[in-house]
Amino acid sequence: MAPNEDGSIGSSLHGVRAREQVFSLSVEDGPSSQAIRSDDPTAKFAIPVDSEHRAKVFKPLSFAKPHMRAFHLGWISFFTCFISTFAAAPLVPVIRDNLDLNKTDIGNAGVASVSGAIFSRLAMGAVCDLLGARYGTAFSLLLSAPAVFFMSFVSDAGSYLAVRFMIGFCLATFVSCQYWTSVMFNGKIIGLVNGCAGGWGDMGGGVTQLLMPMVYHVIKLTGATPFTAWRFAFFIPGFLQIIMGILVLTLGQDLPDGNLSTLQKSGQVSKDKFSKVFWFAVKNYRTWILFVLYGFSMGVELTINNVISEYFYDRFHLTLHTAGIIAASFGMANFFARPFGGYASDVAARLFGMRGRLWTLWILQTVGALFCIWLGRASSLPIAILAMMLFSIGTQAACGALFGVAPFVSRRSLGLISGLTGAGGNFGSGVTQLLFFSSSRFSTAEGLSLMGVMAVVCTLPVAFIHFPQWGSMFLRPSQHEERSKEEHYYGGEWTKEEKSLGLHEGSIKFAENSRSERGRKAMLADIPTPVTGTPAHV
């Protein structure tokens, strides 16, 4: 099952938003997966599975073992980590008085809270490959829970920044969650599954804006002073992380057939060389364009999670509670906005191919950024709320649409590219917070508008993403005999020796399936498989 190389490094996030076909009738083994193939694949599962025991159906209301259970454990873990990372944001009006913070301190702590994940997201891919998604998630949850509890020790700007930095590491659960769903769900539905998991997890950034002020208020009612109550409030995200960590370890399962450590590995597991995978990811210029783009869709979203509650509290003289509700609506829009973005990308691809996907991405992200500019300039509360909601839908849908493009940039380095893109989101958030929200140079309102302008400018590079076989926003596909074939693009990631060993077959199969990215017109034409490629197995 070549496209499903679970054992190989670099495939850790394969299937993220890719509609990879599972060749259920393919006889050839090739680099095999870690799963056992039993003779009766559907006997022991509650939902229909393919020959690799990946679920073919997505039933969000079911908790059936192991597929839907993995989905729910994965997205709830990710959701919990978002709650912890942004738990401080709605309480900043209290924390800044307790710790005597100034604007620079608050801004720097915000930058720190998203920076840790840049590295932890890159490392998580390898952790999932080595230890499985369960331990990847559990490590993230249970090892960062102490950082959440350490808020009770914080006494000045420096310790506050350090603790927020350490809590931020847990955002690596994004990678482990997407890895887990990719392993459990068939390529045809993985787009929707990952869009839902990503979007519902991101909602945590919104829920925390509601949850923390509420918890703080309840603790104050029991008689605690404000400066103690906020510290105690952090115990709630801490408890959630511990509970989820234990649930993941007890109820979860790494793979459809069992846990990684107890499974016997059948067949040949050929692991790709990390150095090669890394090189092809880094060499491809499209990786870096996506890095920047995600930095200004997800990055902007992360920044808003940190600053929006304080902004509404200060500018419109609201109570902590009300500001929290408004800020929460921003994050909650993720529930439907991100899956919608993925869906819009799919529909555009059906009609116009990859060019449609790129245009969808550009439109959604630019519209979102324009509404961000409007948000900064709105001086009345209802207009600000309206601008914020439209901005949230645009930006979050852009996140979903971006992961409709990412899986096609490379087949060999898919996992690493997804990890790098994810890290780009955090990097963008760090940059925007540092530039616009960490000094007294700009008011928060000015900062929001300037961030919107920067996002518009940094979304323009999407016009430079060009696929020879599919074209780009403004250029048609190449007319060249060889370069216009998908096989040439994906085959180009392998050397002649590797091709002679047949290691590239997974990429060739992927290339055949990706012909749908040519759009409706090209699909109607008859496209023969080139002789140099692997003959299609029937």
Partner 1 sequence: MCTLHLIKHKSQSKAYSSSSHKPFFHIQIQESMAIKKLLFASLLICSMIQSSHGATKERLFTDLEKGALEITATPSRTGEGVVLAAGIDKLSITWKVSSTATKEPEFKTIKVKLCYAPISQVDRPWRKTENELFKDKSCPHKISSFSYDPTVKTAQSFDYTLERDIPTGTYYVRAYAVDAKDHEVAFGQSTNADKTTNLFSVQAISGRHKSLDIASVCFSVFSVVALLVFFVNEKRKAKIEQSK
Which amino acid does the sequence have at 417?
A: I
Alpha helices in 150-273 (DSSP H): 157-168, 173-184, 190-202, 204-221, 226-233, 235-251
* DSSP class per residue in 176-208: HHHHHHHHHB-TTTHHHHHHHHHHHHHTHHHHH
Chain-centroid distance, C-alpha 325: 24
Cβ-based burial of 528 (10 A; exposed 0-12, middle 13-18, buried ≥19): exposed
Q: Please answer whether residues 70 and 40 qualify as being in contact, where contact means their C-beta atoms are separated by less than 8 angstroms.
A: no
Which C-beta is closer to partner 1: that of 249 or that of 282?
Answer: 249
Minimum CB distance to partner 1 smaller for 242 or for 453:
242
The smaller minimum CB distance to partner 1, of residues 89 and 326, is found at: 326
Rounded to a whole number of angstroms, the minimum distance from the CB of residue 114 to partner 1 is 22
CB of 262 to partner 1, least distance (A): 5
> Which residue shows structure tokens 């990631």?
493
If the CB atoms of residues 195 and 533 are measured against partner 1, the closer one turns out to be 195
d(CA 366, CA 370): 6
- Nearest distance from C-beta of residue 228 to partner 1, angstroms: 5
- For residues 98 and 115, which CB has a smaller minimum distance to partner 1 in the complex? 98
56 with 188: CB under 8 angstroms? yes
Q: Minimum distance from CB of 280 to partner 1 (Å)?
A: 33
- What is the smallest separation between the CB atom of 423 and partner 1, expressed in angstroms? 24
Query: Do the Cβ atoms of 195 and 17 come closer than 8 Å?
Result: yes
Complex with partner 1: residue 45 or 232, whichever CB lies closer: 232
Residues binding partner 1 (CB under 8 A) = 61, 93, 96-98, 100, 102-104, 135, 138-139, 142-143, 145-146, 149-153, 155, 225-228, 230-232, 235, 238-239, 241-242, 245-246, 249, 259, 261-262, 310, 314, 316-317, 319, 321-322, 325-326, 329, 332, 335-336, 380-382, 385-386, 389, 440, 443-444
DSSP secondary-structure letter at 51? T
What is the smallest separation between the CB atom of 162 and partner 1, expressed in angstroms? Answer: 15
| Smallest distance, partner 1 to C-beta of residue 313, A | 8
Nearer to partner 1, 242 or 282 (CB): 242
The alpha carbon of residue 527 and the mean position of all alpha carbons in its chain are separated, in whole angstroms, by 34
